[in-house]
Amino acid sequence: MNLAELRRAGRTPALPLRVELADAAGPATLCLQRLLRVLPGQRYVGLAEWRGRRVLAKLLVGRKAARHFARELAGARLLAGQGLSTPLLLADGLREGEGGWLLFDFLDGAESLGDAWRAVEPQPLLADAQQAVLGEALAAIAGLHAKGLWQDDLHLDNLLRQDGRLYWIDGGGVRAQTPGQPLAREQVLENLGVFFAQLPVELEPFIEELLVHYLLVNGEHALPLEALLKEVHRARRWRLRDYLHKLGRDCSLFSASRGASALRVVRRQEAQRLAPLLDDLEGAIATGQPLKLGGSSTVALVEQGDRRLVIKRYNIKGLAHWLKRCWRPSRAWHSWVEGNRLDFLGIATPKPLALLELRTLWLRRRAYLITEHAAGEDIIARFKPCLDAPDGAGAPPEAELQALDTLFAALLRERISHGDFKGSNLLWQGGRWVLVDLDAMQHHLSAQRFARAYARDRARFLRNWPADSRLYRLLDERLPQVPGTCPE
């Protein structure tokens, strides 16, 4: 196959895949053995064999191939030209009307700093192992900036560690100001904002401490914390908007099909496993364990192999209800968006896995949402021993109260109201409170509207316990208030 034919290979071409290329030594066959990243019809990146050598191959096809090839080649040369560690470029080429290729030395046994971070992320905030990973990354970023370069798609997966040495990859995102001279402070702050915005928001109070790793390598500029935090918040908002825009699109994260008879979206990594379930949702609900049999919705717990999933069916109760609902986004879509919003923000909720809206000539009918199952105990049952203690003198464990503080602080920070804060919608699982039933959840742009919604949430949450109980008073004292919405 040639590059023009590769353009039509789709997302999952059969492997091994042989592509005819050529370099200064003449024509040769590249044997692509494993795909690492695919943008169908545009980019195929993977492990390959070339002239008896293992290489990392970037194959660029489609109408934008020449532009992408030029960026990748320029970035790779910038990194190498400034003496920064990066895999050796072994061969490259561009064929007009077909596409381009870049073949890099393959780093055997290398681990991305992204994988290293994911391994230590569950540890306590800024544990030694976490600080070691972030310190490595910040030192490497400082070295990049000291040479007048930056990576406009800066993230931990663009740094590979092999035998204790870090390598920059993905030259397509490398930009230069004045190569060889330190990057201007404004660009440094913007780029560091992109980096810190991808870390858990709970790490924000430690940014000043983490910056020491950067300044030890590149102390060219003073980096005001206030200005840096402004860039972090701006980048974080952009990343969230970008992620939410992908929720109904066919992309690397989601598999989506949209038509006059149905909208079907599933996390791409789950698509194959969930296909049989999505093809017979009614059968799965009928054989599953019923959790709710309401008029507006039906909820069932189903077993799939070694895991448990929840299917929620949003019912249409009659013609009048259908006329009211058919023209606007379904409740399943709303819950899909809000569940993914919480998941992206690091607020615990069962991970949304798939969505199906049935339609008639684009008009919405019944809809389904599939999520992971949260097996925790709800907060009413969890705190019941406090009410049952003599004179109600018991108090919940401090760890559970602190987790509740963290949850409410996150909802305040992100201006999110739940809309139905009864105790059964808050479950204790894995040391965190997990929010379920997101049908009424809202993200508020208006601070005033959020304040009113938060006050309602807070009041509804406290009504889970008798107002004259010690537990009620304890929670009322601890839960944050929005000024002007609650009695002091």
Cα(136)–Cα(138) distance, integer angstroms? 6
Compute, in degrees rounded to 10, the torsion defined by CA atoms 102, 103, 108, 110.
-10
The two three-digit tokens of residue 234, written as one number: 């701006």
326 Cβ contact partners less than 8 Å away, ≥ 6 residues apart: 363, 364, 365
Q: What is the CA radius of gyration of the chain?
A: 26
Q: What are φ and ψ of residue 227, in 5° steps?
A: -65, -40
The upper half-sphere exposure of residue 11, i.e. CA atoms within 13 Å in the direction of its Cβ, equals: 8
**Segment 4-32, tens digit of pLDDT:** 899 988 888 999 999 999 776 778 899 99
Give this prediction's pTM.
0.89
Cα(215)–Cα(209) distance, integer angstroms? 11
Fold of the CATH domain 111-245: Transferase(Phosphotransferase); domain 1 (1.10.510)
Whether the domain at 3-105 and the domain at 377-478 fall into the same CATH topology: no
Exposed (0-12), middle (13-18) or buried (19+): which is 391, by Cβ within 10 Å?
exposed
The separation between the first and the last C-alpha atoms of the chain, rounded to the nearest angstrom, is 73
Domain 3-105: which CATH number of 3.30.720.200, 3.30.200.20, 1.20.1250.20, 1.20.970.10 = 3.30.200.20
For residue 354, the model assigns a pLDDT of: 98
For residue 390, the model assigns a pLDDT of: 67
Domain 377-478 class, CATH top level: mainly alpha
Q: Is the pLDDT of residue 253 over 90?
A: yes
pLDDT band at 97 (very low <50, low <70, confident <90, very high): confident
pLDDT band at 321 (very low <50, low <70, confident <90, very high): low
What is the domain partition of the chain in residue ranges? 3-105, 111-245, 254-372, 377-478
Q: Which of 48-52, 71-75, 312-316 has the lowest mean pLDDT?
A: 312-316
Q: Which of 75-79, 267-271, 318-322 has the lowest mean pLDDT?
A: 318-322
**Segment 349-389, tens digit of pLDDT:** 999 999 999 988 777 888 999 999 998 999 999 999 988 77
For residue 423, the model assigns a pLDDT of: 95
Determine contact, residues 197/123, Cβ cutoff 8 Å: no
Dump the DSSP string for 9-65: S-SS--SSEEEEEEETTEEEEEEEEEEEEEETTTEEEEEEEETTEEEEEEEEESTTH
Q: What are φ and ψ of residue 454, in 5° steps?
A: -65, -40
Compute, in degrees rounded to 10, the torsion defined by CA atoms 336, 340, 343, 348.
-20
For residue 188, the model assigns a pLDDT of: 98
Per the rule left: phi > 0, alpha: psi between -120 and 50, beta: everything else, 442 is: beta
The two three-digit tokens of residue 83, written as one number: 């003496």
What secondary structure letter does DSSP report for 87?
-
